[in-house]
Amino acid sequence: MGKRVAVVLAGCGVFDGSEIHEAAAALVHLSRGGAEVKIFAPNIEQKDVVNHLKGSPTEEKRNVLVESARLARGNIQDLAELKASEFDAVIFPGGFGVAKNLCSWATDGKNCTVNEHVNSTLQAFHSAKKPIGLCCISPVLAAKVFPGCEVTVGQDKNVDGRFPDAETASAIAELGCKHICKNVNESHVDKANKIVTTCAFMCKAPLHEIFDGIGTMVQEVLKLA
């Protein structure tokens, strides 16, 4: 039987939810790796709803679990129901929804708070010494919850204009964590904490390179599981 992996989503759409390409890439690589996947999201209201055509917020209200169900093809559960004992690993794709809905990094940076069910999920997998995979902005969750851990969000300088959010690496360091510089097609494994991270869309790169980088993260998570 394949490894049992929980995937935690934050909505549907890069600007207010999970990044769709990242979520799909993680699910494709997990499928290829023979994993048995179940998808979860917190049953909470989104911080905001963004018109993805205009890039501007709307007055609309949406629910994170309901929106995430779009990506899960309806097969999804409330994050409050996730039991770490029933899984071998957990993966968090990125997207602004992570920084808005799963925590408050978008507005509060390193002083953010983490959603209670996200926090308890991370703590449960970590305590059980089960691997945690994160990509794009999601590594800030680990940085906030596990001081001293090692993560990557790409580079700590805006190399060739490809890493416009490089200052995130400094904020991670200010939390007492170690930021490891990696290219988009690479991932970093914090062996002590069993945390695997890759930068994904934190880098301005072709989609296939982001897909491949997420593939390395998934492969490393499955190896550790």
pLDDT at residue number 32: 98
Q: Which residues of 112-129 are buried (b: 16+ CB within 10 A; e: fewer)?
A: bebbebbbbbbebbbeee
pLDDT at residue number 1: 76
The whole-angstrom separation of Cα 70 and Cα 48 is 17
Residues present in the chain in total: 225
Q: What is the pLDDT of residues 76-89, one digit of tens each?
A: 999 999 999 999 99
Is residue 122 predicted with pLDDT exceeding 90?
yes
Q: Which residue is listed with tokens 């209200």?
A: 61
pLDDT at residue number 222: 98
Is residue 117 predicted with pLDDT exceeding 80?
yes
Q: What is the pLDDT of residues 126-138, one digit of tens each?
A: 999 999 999 999 9
User: Nearest CA to 78 among 66, 96, 87?
Assistant: 66
Considering the candidates 135, 136, 149, 203, report the single residue annotated as catalytic: 136
- Does the annotation mark 135 as catalytic? no
- Is the sign of the CA dihedral 154, 99, 95, 146 positive or negative? positive
Which backbone phi and psi does 88 adopt, to 5 degrees?
Answer: -100, -15
The whole-angstrom separation of Cα 26 and Cα 21 is 9
For the chain, what is the largest distance between any 2 Cα atoms, rounded to a whole number of angstroms?
A: 46
Does pTM top 0.85 for this prediction? yes
Residue 14 — pLDDT band, cuts 50, 70, 90?
very high
Are 153 and 123 a contacting pair, CB within 8 Å? no
